[in-house]
Structure 1
Amino acid sequence: MTVDRTDALDCGICFLPLKPPIFQCDVGHVVCSPCRDKLAAAGGRCHVCRDPTGFRRCHAMEQLVDAIRAACPHAGHGCAARPAYHDRERHAGECAHAPLRCPGDACGFVGPAPALAEHAAAAHGWRTCAAEAIAGASFRVDLRDGFNLITAARGGAAYLFLLNVATTPFGRAVSVVRLVPQAPAWRSTKCELQVYYVRLKDFYREHYYQTSRFEVADMDPASDELQDPSASFQFLVPKCVSGYDEADFCVNVVITIKLASSS
């Protein structure tokens, strides 16, 4: 089934897609809820026929617009979702399959998360790794100075986390952001970084443990600038830590991605 005139599914006043609750006058002209409220404040007459009897819910139209589904604009990048027509734009703005711009300086590459990870390693030489984002489960990552890219899989989608490492007078500073095509409010991401080791030194067993839990900020590489990790960071590996001065140092990472239901 195809819809030849999608404007028939739009409000006749604001021209936005109709979504529940939908209202109609006695003649049958339909409007969205915000526009109905504006008409009510102006006297309650229909904007087409000027009928003065006001508006009532149109449940048949609500069922119709909820039943008409459309493919996600990012279907070509792997999204199989078919949101309601009136919810298509919101879904597209929050879709985990939306293409991302490379945060590299003067780099114009744009692609989905898996392609961006491959590009980062091949074109920029960044350290990359992939892991399943299981709540409470950690995975080991070898970090080096500069950009490190983690691909976290969750529910069939891939999420990219950029860990930027810089050497400071006090140790190695690590900043973490999640790369997104735009910053949605429907998903929250938490991260935990850990460094620990046990070693024998002068016949004594030496223990070290450090952890930091924090909310991860979203970053759109197309419009946002990366913060200098030496000035703004979530984790600092001090110089006293074993292996600090090596080119690569290992941390344990726990990533928790919470998907909130849409309104």
Structure 2
Amino acid sequence: MLRGTNSEQVLDGEVSSSHPEMQRLSSLVEDDEAEPVEEVRSGTLLDLDLLDCPVCCHALTNPIFQCDNGHIACSSCCVSLRNKCPSCALPIGVYRNRLAEKILEAVNVPCPNVKHGCTNKFSYGKELAHEKECSFALCYCPEPDCNYSGLCNNLYSHYYVNHSGSRLSFTCGYNRSAWMHISDKILFLQERREGPLVAVQCFEEEQGVYVTVNCIAPCAPGVSEFSFELFYSSYFGEKTMSFGLREMNRIQKVSFETPEKDFMFVPHYFMAGRPDLKMHICIRRRGEEQEKKT
């Protein structure tokens, strides 16, 4: 049965139209019928500790194994336990818990610094590795009576405004005097007015003095990356030494524990009983050395 106008004909339930709008709507209906959209279901895991190995308490990683009673453990713990379940003593380390592995892969957690502005998300457990290199990690004011903490650039501004009398300024590529009394234990250098903050510390031990140089900043790519050369000379200049790192260590908080690496050691006999260290330092941005050579 045929009925309609010149622009549209309807044949027993089928639409045939020369009108562009009708053709577009018809095409959309056909596409919806051909490719139905599957709704992705989601929920909330209230206790993330359930994704930790019950033996070592570290974040689970695939593969995850279980014993016949369903107790789970990470692969490294299975080896250390000699494949004996710590809960029931049954063998563990042969059969994998595929459901637990799929749940682990499906869980994404935000960076611990999300409240400070980081928007990255990671599989559970991997956010901890990112946190060490996150540019939104908090840094702490090194002044002993100050409790300020914030993003590194905010800390640099805070230090200049509130503690400028405690620091010396430095310019990259130029030698700077860094004389300090051993009893002071720490000397601060700040680039320009509100630039990166560098801590020169000394630790007096039985045989001599350890000297370290660290930038207060998170270990994020492109954030406060420096190299340095540190020069020491005895009071009359008869004894000298130097120490440097192509990549200055970055720390979020100053520590007063004697370092185990990356230090210059000045023996007591170099100092001849003097209470101060006569030093100079040259700080450079990383990459400047290669640019000068080319």
* TM-score scaled by length of structure 2: 0.49
Determine if contact 1:45/1:53 at 8 Å carries over to the other structure. yes
Work out whether residues 19 and 66 of structure 1, in 8 Å CA contact, stay in contact via their aligned partners in 2.
no
Which fold has the larger relative contact order, with Cα–Cα distance below 8 Å and residues 6 or more apart in sequence?
1
Q: CA deviation at 1:32?
A: 0.9
Correspondence for 2:62 among 8, 20, 24: 20
Q: Distance in 1 between the 2:101 and 2:255 partners? A: 37
1:138-176 superposed Cα distances (whole Å, 9 cap, x missing partner): x7789787633349xxxxxxx944166xxxxxxxxxx84
Deviations 1:162-198 (A, max 9, x none): 166xxxxxxxxxx8422257x99xx9x65157xxxxx
Instruction: Please give the residue correspondences for 1:72-91 in structure 2 after superposition, counting only pairs within 5 Å.
Output: 72-91=111-130
Unmatched tracts of structure 1, length 5 or more: 131-138, 152-158, 165-174, 194-211, 237-250, 257-263
**Aligned mates of 1:108, 1:162 — CA distance in 2:** 18
**Number of the residue aligned with 1:223:** 255
Of residues 143, 155, 158, the one that matches 1:116 is 155
Percent of aligned pairs with the same residue?
Answer: 26
Listed as ranges, the gaps of 5+ residues in structure 2 are 1-42, 179-186, 201-211, 230-243, 265-275, 288-294
The 3 A distance-change label for structure 1 pair 129 and 4 is farther
In structure 2, relative to structure 1, the CA distance for the partners of 1:49 and 1:97 (3 Å cut) is same
Match of 1:177 in 2: 214
Amino acid at match of 1:8: L
Instruction: Report the structure, 1 or 2, having the larger helix content.
Output: 2
State whether residues 26 and 55 of structure 1, in contact with CA within 8 Å, keep that contact through their aligned partners in structure 2.
Answer: no
Counterpart of 1:162 in 2: which secondary structure?
Answer: strand
Matched position secondary structure for 1:118 = helix
1:97 and 1:231, CA in 2 relative to 1: closer, same or farther beyond 3 A? farther
Where does residue 208 of structure 1 map in the other structure?
A: none
Contact 1:161 1:178 in 2 (8 A): yes
Q: 2:52 aligns with which of 10, 15, 30?
A: 10
Aligned partners of 1:101 and 1:110 also within 8 Å: yes
Query: CA separation of 1:100/1:47 partners in 2, compared to 1, >3 Å: closer, same or farther?
Result: same
Structure 1 residue 224: deviation in Å?
3.0
* Higher deviation after alignment, 53-62 or 142-151: 142-151
Tell me if 1:64 matches 2:96. Answer: no
TM-score (norm 1): 0.54
User: 1:218 & 1:231 partners in 2: Cα distance?
Assistant: 23
Structure 1: which amino acid aligns with 2:151?
A: P
1:177-256 to 2 correspondences below 5 Å: 177-180=214-217, 191=227, 214-219=246-251, 221-224=253-256, 231=277, 236=281, 253-255=284-286
CA spacing shift, 1:71–1:144, aligned 2, 3 Å: farther
**Residue 201 of structure 1 corresponds to which residue in structure 2?**
none
The alignment covers a number of residue pairs equal to: 193
Q: CA deviation at 1:16?
A: 2.9
- Greater share of strand: 1
Matching residue's letter, 2:188: F
RMSD: 4.5
